[in-house]
Structure 1
Amino acid sequence: MFKFKTLAIGLMLSTGAAAQHHDHSSMPMPMPMPAKPAQPPKATPPAKPAPKPATKPKQKQKPAQKPRAEKPVDHSTMDHSQMQMEHPTMDHSQMQMDGAVPVPGELRTPIPALTDADREAARPTEHHHAEHDNTVHSKVLFNRLEAFDADHGNGLAWEGQAWIGTDTDKVWLRSEGERVDDRTESADLEVMYGRPIARWWDVVGGVRHDFKPGKSQDWAAIGLVGIAPYKFEVEATAYVGASGRTAARIEAEYEVLLTNRLILQPLVEANFNGKDDERRGVGSGLSTMEAGLRLRYEVHRKFAPYIGVVYERAFGDTADFRRALGEDKSDTRIVVGVRVWF
């Protein structure tokens, strides 16, 4: 009997313990309530300033408003993987400013067709000249104004030109000469009218007057002035005088810029005659040739002193006439001078 009671009591105790045991895995966990944020302290209004006798009292400042307490969001309970951005992804490559859909191979602004009027407007003018004006300009240039020491004495030489006119019409003055031991060996003056015939060339025509050597004489002159390829400055003039006399002069010079102001200037001049003229000591054909090399320094663009060497030689009958007078057919001299223009 005692054993039966003991078994009944143990069975009742195990059943009560089983009834109190629960499966907590199927029960939702209660979310803890967030703590309330601390309320900010109330702003204390500033004390009123004491009134000043000479000024009006300042107005009362309003107390600062209490910031609104917002309920914080618990991001741990939110599933961000199921959220989308407010603006979906857009394909900007297919968009245009005007909203039109582009067509492959089609231009936004079509090119107008080429007309005969367009072709005619693109052609250069007849003489390839830029537009000219009627403004009058002028220039005076002494390309050579020098002293020298030659075998037959000391002397002075000059070569210069001047012009006045517009871009298309000019009047030219040109002069060249030489004095040795206070005696004029040669001197001439040319007055010509010039007009352009090409981009870099002018044709000139006029008269030439020789003062020396011998008696004075006059020539009709026509020639070209301009810049040849590679920037050679060229003057070529033909002359026709009395009794069918003819002559020609060709001069070419070049400028080599060693620096921006130091310039080397080679120059070559050749004179030709159609007939012998014993009174002036000039023979037919190539009578004389002069080659010079001058180095100048441009203190100012309009003023440049120089030093150089010049070689001159006579040919043919002209050399024979000089030997008959006791002179050499060639001469080398050192020159010192100045080049000016204005």
Structure 2
Amino acid sequence: MSIVDPRSGAPLTPPEPTAPTAESAPEEAQLIIDVDRNNIQQLLEISTQVPVLLDCWAPWCEPCKVLMPILEKLTREYNGAFVLAKLNIDENQEIAAQLGVRSVPDVKLISQGGLVDHFQGALPEKEIREWLSRYFPPVEDAPASPEEQAADALAQGDIATARALYEQLVQQNPEHYAYQVELARTLVAEERGQEALALLDSLPPEERDAAQARGVRASIEFREEAPSSEELAALEGRDDSEARFKRALRQVADGDYETGLEALLALMQSDRGYGEDAARKTLLRVFDALGADHPLTVTYRRRLFTLLY
């Protein structure tokens, strides 16, 4: 990365790096600074002593407003491991252009006057922590974030706690739509599918049609389509395609995804024509519900591909 002085056009170069000392380490008041044409040289000087996280933002950018408090919180939590510098691109268009900023938020990690890495968009706190962990040792005894607490509660079946935490996150970050999708997921777990659908339908079109939202919607549909206990009892002893398909639907609706996927794959092998290729179509819907990166999705998508081709 090379930056020139917007006033003189001369390249700004950092001084020779020196080993950081207790005196040069940033104090708490210096952990977060605003950057403009008057102190861009200072940013390069700081980066020779301690890495700088440069948050490129704009006043009109709603995701920027979601991201900035998270970055400020993490900066204080890391307590001197890096400095957070905030660059308003509307007021500093020349610097933003030199940095290659094309959309905001754009967060760049700078060390020794050079660009190390960057990410774009208002990532969830958990993902930002994972990104930071590539370059900084983890913060010891740091309390779990509300997002992490909510995800853990949902994974452990404590649905009420997860819902309360996601409701709080949605209230605090109304433009961070991933929290609303996760809140809808907790509503599904509480058998409140219609409320979950209403929440998903209220999202902007691009969020409503994204993979995570489609997955929650698919899980609602499975619960509605799966046979009841009475219907399952009536299928006892039957091993025809209809009975096998309905049992697989019930397994998926109950969260026994691996058993359901195995049953659907077996049905597809033995009776591809059942229900106009219902087994294959349902497999794809389960992949949507689980998400593209889920281990079961990866495994069974590969097996489905092998079967087809």
Structure 1 length-normalised TM: 0.17
- The structure with the greater share of residues assigned to helix is 2
- The structure with the greater share of residues assigned to strand is 1
* Structure having the higher Rg: 1
Higher relative contact order (CA 8 A, sep 6+): 2
